[in-house]
Chain A
Amino acid sequence: MSGDSQFRTALGRARGLGSAHHGVSAFIVERSTSVALVPLCLWAVYAAIKVAPLGYESAVLMLRQPVNAIMSLLLVGVSFLHMRVGLRVVIEDYVHTPAAKILALLANSALCWLGWAVATFSILWVAFVGGPVH
């Protein structure tokens, strides 16, 4: 997590080393991703309306436009990061059995990274290669 080093003063870092030694970075990641998602999710609603009536070929052409590909990559990247830290809080609030909690946290991370990888690879594939895989 980059939040810890980027947005804190040296004194703040020294003072902030509580029992967990890294608490504030999670706070900063939650906030910074939520700020980034304001324009990104508004764009997502706009793009969804634009792409919905299109057929396959036109949808591919739309995603091949650099602006749409870049916005899609940012949307997917920031969303899955925000989701990972967001659902982590929900799990920590409601799942108290250590084994179940660790499994739930791992499953959350795994699903977010998998979703991110699948979506990102698909966007890049469509943007650079175009049409169907086969």
Chain B
Amino acid sequence: MAEATSTGKGVRTRPTSPHLQVWRWHVTMAASILTRATGIALYGGAVIAAVWFAALMVGPDAYGPVMILLGSWIGKVVMFGLTFSVFYHLAAGLRHLVWDAGSGFNPHTANMTAVGAMAFALVATLVVWALAIQTGAVR
């Protein structure tokens, strides 16, 4: 709750951030939320990778079904989303490293790098999937 209301003990609840209901959407905010969302998506991706490695250890009886699941339409949607997540989170991470070094905070620069990260992720995802289709990785 963003409203400062009484807790009944004479202590007001502290205001919380980022007040989604009063802020106008802007690209750096979308970029920040997308960084977190893709990070959480990649958490799921790492679990999928661990399952894949385990299936390879267990044998063909486990590996076959895992690959069928990953190759199904829902598996393809998930893998496409994970490809985008890898490239977006990568670009956003580099953006954060530049910020940590002390530059890139100018609003115009921050807006440009936000759009750039999104554009890079989209283009890289499409290029990788085109290559994957071409090489027979995606059928």
Interface residues in chain A, defined as those with a beta carbon under 8 Å from any beta carbon in chain B? 31, 34-35, 37-38, 41-42, 44-45, 48-50, 52-53, 56, 59-60, 63, 72, 76, 79-80, 83, 86-87, 90, 111, 115-116, 118-119, 121-123, 125-126, 131-134
Q: Do residues A118 and B100 form an inter-chain contact, with CB atoms below 8 A? A: no
Residue of A nearest to B17 (CB): A93
Within 8 A of A (CB), among B40-70: 40, 42-43, 46-47, 49-50, 53-54, 56-61, 63-64
Complex CA–CA separation, A50 to B97 (angstroms): 30
23 contacts between A and B (CB under 8 A): A38-B93, A44-B49, A49-B132, A52-B132, A52-B138, A53-B139, A56-B59, A56-B60, A56-B64, A59-B63, A63-B56, A76-B46, A79-B46, A80-B46, A86-B43, A115-B46, A115-B50, A116-B50, A119-B50, A122-B56, A126-B56, A131-B59, A133-B57
Q: A85 CB to closest chain B CB, in angstroms?
A: 11
Q: B33 CB to closest chain A CB, in angstroms?
A: 12
Residue of A nearest to B83 (CB): A45
Our pick among B43, B60, B139 for the contact of A83 (Cβ within 8 Å) is B43
Residue of B nearest to A41 (CB): B86
Q: Do residues B60 and A119 form an inter-chain contact, with CB atoms below 8 A? A: no
In the complex, the 7 A-B pairs of residues with the closest C-beta atoms, listed nearest first: A132-B59, A52-B137, A122-B53, A122-B57, A119-B50, A115-B50, A56-B60
Residues of A within 8 Å of B64, CB to CB, are: 56
Q: A82 CB to closest chain B CB, in angstroms?
A: 9
Contacts A45-B128, A49-B128; is A132 near B50 (CB within 8 Å)?
no
Q: Do residues B46 and A134 form an inter-chain contact, with CB atoms below 8 A? A: no
Q: A110 CB to closest chain B CB, in angstroms?
A: 13
Within 8 A of A (CB), among B78-128: 83, 86, 90, 93-94, 96-97, 100, 128
Q: Do residues B132 and A38 form an inter-chain contact, with CB atoms below 8 A? A: no
Within 8 A of A (CB), among B1-58: 36, 39-40, 42-43, 46-47, 49-50, 53-54, 56-58
Residues of A within 8 Å of B58, CB to CB, are: 132-133
Q: B139 CB to closest chain A CB, in angstroms?
A: 8
Residue of B nearest to A123 (CB): B53
Contacts A41-B86, A63-B56, A132-B58; is A56 near B46 (CB within 8 Å)?
no
Residues of A within 8 Å of B60, CB to CB, are: 56, 132
Residues of B within 8 Å of A115, CB to CB, are: 46-47, 50
B131 at the interface (CB under 8 A from A): yes
